[in-house]
A and B are shown apart, each in its own frame.
Chain A
């Protein structure tokens, strides 16, 4: 009944009784299937994100553009418009959406595991709110300081001022959090959580104060930015996002096993040999970097970090070795599709992508709560 496992008598030094895949302690055999499925979904979503939209691009056009980019075949003249749409606008946008979705979902998974709380998400700790406050401050005071740096004639400094401010704001909140949440060298998870809630409220209030001080044009900029949008995605942001959104999210992957141990509680994880203090520090810092950089790139995009890990857990169970990579792939796919919806639904105007994710994410999450009473 027990998968054919027969204990060797007294068997301290007994070899594993049977060869073959290890169903009890190693990676479950479905891991490759989960990753293949997620990879396929992401590929399909990205293809849709490239081909579809108000200005349709044909598959032939995409192929010609790719061949041209690879230097294999010169671009035929009839595909020049496709190549321009793809190369200048859609490719960086789809790549950014995918990286951002992966980063938010990874950070959400890790926060939920770290706080042992299914309702935790990157926004809960105030990291997003801190980034938003700094960005709003940049919008309101940036004009006075740099004069006319925004708008059509914006120079490099103006282009980067807002994301750099947002990133710095998110990291500043993280630094404040780790100071507030640590006593005598030990990071207290409840203290961290409550400090985050308070900082979240404080940043929200200060943001409100700045909106009150802003003129009408600034207020509109602020509103648009806080709703989240990938409309500003261009190639220069791609390598930055690669380093600050995707890389920290990938570095979270090795935390899957220690996070699994953490389901037993902090003492239980310590008993299993996990350096819990180090785990908390690494998890918070990497999540903070990916979230702060994500907010810097696209504003506030809600519900991806909260909902995606639950979807993956529902489908494949709570083992973080599956949930973490699975959430990254699903989060990436969903944000690419949400962005596609954002630029298509109200064409030629664009919906803020944060509105799309919250519009879909919030009702879905409520449904999830009703259906799974044991979730929270």
Chain B
């Protein structure tokens, strides 16, 4: 369970508008929350504040009822994992070792006994078992994204109920098949008791995966609720400044597989 209370983040540029203004947001264990909104709306900033990476200027973030600032870094890493937008490595590592990095916070805890199972299962679940020995740098953008997904899964393997998974545009480089795979995996993780928050641009994906959708615009949470209640034409037109219409004659992937 994660909750942001009156979260505000100022821009590092003096005099610029705040990146986030008074955002109240919560995600419970077992829930998938999708964040959508225009470029520059503050979605990634919100994820960074929720991960503890960015210290908010105002307000606070509580994970399992405890302010993020009070979490020792390794304990925090056993309770929340982050999948970033694009990750390139400074040195060549095989995909399997990248996934195994997810087990670093479990070092010296009883959870270490699960390391081997966690890495294997995460790679199966993310569909990257066949890439295990490949050097990360030789993988395509989508394959890298799946390896990072596996790394995040390995990190939360064995985590206590209510752990948090944050994903920033996790489907951005994925083909339709793997988009469906990742989104179904996200739903499965929520069923296992995780809280999942992900930034998406594809409204159909948001509607498919999310229990609730939050819309950010200019640093404010302007709407939040069940997908059907939030993803309405007049709301989207207001937020994105363009018209939305139902598709005729197009094809959308069946994300449910």
Q: Name the one of A5, A113, A263, A273 contacting B105, with C-beta atoms under 8 angstroms.
A: A273
Cβ distance A347 to chain B, nearest Cβ, rounded Å: 41
User: In the complex, A319→B118 CA distance in Å?
Assistant: 20
A267 in contact with B53 given A261-B104, A272-B102 (CB within 8 Å): yes
Q: What mask results when residues 128 to 163 of chain B are scored 1 for a CB within 8 Å of chain A, else 0?
A: 011010000100000000000000000101110000
A73–B103 alpha-carbon span in the complex (Å): 54
Candidates A13, A18, A263; contact of B90 at CB < 8 Å = A263
- Given A267-B53, A271-B53, A272-B104, do A7 and B93 touch, yes or no (CB 8 Å)? no
**Would you call B119 and A25 a contact (CB within 8 A)?**
yes
**Given A15-B113, A17-B116: A25 and B103 interface contact (C-beta under 8 Å):** yes
- Nearest Cβ in chain A — how far from B94, in angstroms? 8
Within residues 250 to 278 of chain A, which ones have a CB less than 8 A from any CB in chain B? 257-258, 260-265, 267-268, 270-275
Q: Among the listed A7, A10, A16, which residue makes an inter-chain contact with B124, where contact means beta carbons less than 8 Å apart?
A: A7
Point out the residues of chain A lying under 8 angstroms from B40, CB to CB.
Answer: none
Given contacts A1-B130, A5-B121, A117-B90, contact A270 B73 (CB under 8 A): yes
A215 CB-CB contact with B under 8 Å: no
B73 touches A16 (CB 8 A): no
B81 at the A interface (CB under 8 A)? yes
In the complex the two chains form, is B104's CB within 8 Å of A12's CB? no
CB proximity to B under 8 Å, residues A1-21: 1-3, 5-8, 10-18
Does A317 sit within 8 A of B, measured CB to CB? Answer: yes
In the complex, the answer to whether B120 meets A16 with C-beta atoms within 8 Å is no
**Residues of chain B lying within 8 A (CB to CB) of residue A261:** 101, 104
- In the complex, which residues of chain A have a beta carbon less than 8 angstroms from the beta carbon of B94? 317
Q: A343–B77 Cα gap in the complex (Å)?
A: 53
Task: Give CA–CA (A135, B78) in the complex, Å.
Answer: 49
- Nearest residue in A to B193 (C-beta to C-beta)? A12
- Please indicate the chain A residues that have their CB under 8 angstroms from the CB of B105 in the complex: 272-273
CA distance A112 to B53 in the complex (A): 24
Q: B185 → chain A, closest Cβ, in Å? A: 13
A23 to B93, CA, bound (A): 14
Other-chain residue from B73, B91, B92, B104 in contact with A275 (beta carbon distance below 8 A):
B73
Do residues A13 and B104 form an inter-chain contact, with CB atoms below 8 A? no
Most buried by B among A11, A12, A15: A12
Q: Does B58 make an interface contact (CB < 8 A)?
A: no
- Asked if A262 contacts B90 (CB within 8 A), the reply is yes
Residue total for A at the interface (Cβ-Cβ under 8 A): 47
A22 CB contact (under 8 Å) in B75, B93, B104, B116 = B116
**CB-based contact B114/A14 at 8 Å:** yes
Contact mask for chain B residues 78-112; partner A; CB cutoff 8 A; 1 contact, 0 none? 10111010010111111011111111110100000
- What's the minimum C-beta distance from A257 to chain B, rounded to whole angstroms? 6
The distance in angstroms between the C-alpha atoms of A11 and B111, with both chains bound, is: 12
Q: Are B119 and A5 in contact (CB under 8 A)?
A: yes
Q: Are A16 and B117 in contact (CB under 8 A)?
A: yes
Residues of B within 8 A of A318 (CB): 91-93
Verify B120–A12 contact, CB threshold 8 A.
no
B100 in complex: contacting residue of A17, A25, A118, A267, CB < 8 Å: A25
A12 CB, nearest partner CB in chain B, Å: 6
Chain A residues numbered 304-337 whose CB sits less than 8 Å from any CB in chain B:
313, 317-319
B46 CB, nearest partner CB in chain A, Å: 15
Known: A274-B73, A313-B91. A24 touches B96 (CB 8 A): yes
Q: Is the CB of A257 within 8 A of B107?
A: yes
Given A11-B117, A260-B101, does the pair A319, B90 have CB atoms closer than 8 Å? no
**Could you say which residues of chain B place their CB within 8 Å of the CB of A7?**
117, 120-121, 124-125
Instruction: List the B side residues contacting A26 at CB < 8 Å.
Output: 115
Task: Check A113 against B104 for contact (C-beta < 8 Å).
Answer: no
B84 touches A268 (CB 8 A): yes
Q: Which residue of B lies closest to A270 (CB)?
A: B53
Knowing A12-B157, A257-B107, A273-B73, say if A2 contacts B84 (CB, 8 Å).
no
Within 8 A of B (CB), among A153-200: none
Q: A113-B90, A268-B87, A275-B73 are in contact. Are A10 and B116 (CB under 8 A)?
A: no
> 1/0 per position for A271-291, CB-CB distance to B under 8 A?
111110000000000000000
Q: Which listed residue, B84, B115, B158, touches A24 by the CB 8 Å rule?
A: B115
The reply on B226 being an interface residue by CB < 8 A is no
Which B29-82 residues have C-beta < 8 A from chain A?
48, 51-53, 73-78, 80-82
A234 at the interface (CB under 8 A from B): no
A209-253 interface mask toward B, CB cutoff 8 Å, 1 = contact, 0 = none?
000000000000000000000000000000000000000000000
Bound CA span A13–B53, Å = 29
Complexed CA–CA distance, A5 and B129 (Å): 10
Whether A2 pairs with B115 at a CB distance below 8 angstroms is no
- Check if A79 is an interface residue, CB within 8 A of chain B: no
User: B256 to chain A: closest CB distance in Å?
Assistant: 21
Which residues from B are CB-within-8-Å of A263?
Answer: 89-91, 93, 101
When A and B form their complex, which 5 residue pairs have the shortest distance between CB atoms, in order from nearest?
Answer: A5-B120, A273-B77, A7-B121, A116-B90, A25-B115
18 A-B residue pairs with Cβ-Cβ distance under 8 Å, sorted by A, are: A1-B129, A2-B123, A5-B119, A6-B120, A7-B117, A12-B192, A14-B114, A14-B117, A15-B114, A17-B116, A18-B116, A22-B116, A257-B104, A264-B101, A270-B52, A273-B104, A313-B91, A319-B97
Q: A24-B115, A118-B90, A272-B105 are in contact. List 6 more A-B contacts (CB 8 A).
A: A6-B120, A14-B117, A24-B119, A267-B48, A273-B76, A273-B105
B residues neighboring A (CB under 8 Å): 48, 51-53, 73-78, 80-82, 84, 87, 89-94, 96-105, 107, 113-121, 123-125, 129-130, 132, 137, 155, 157-159, 192
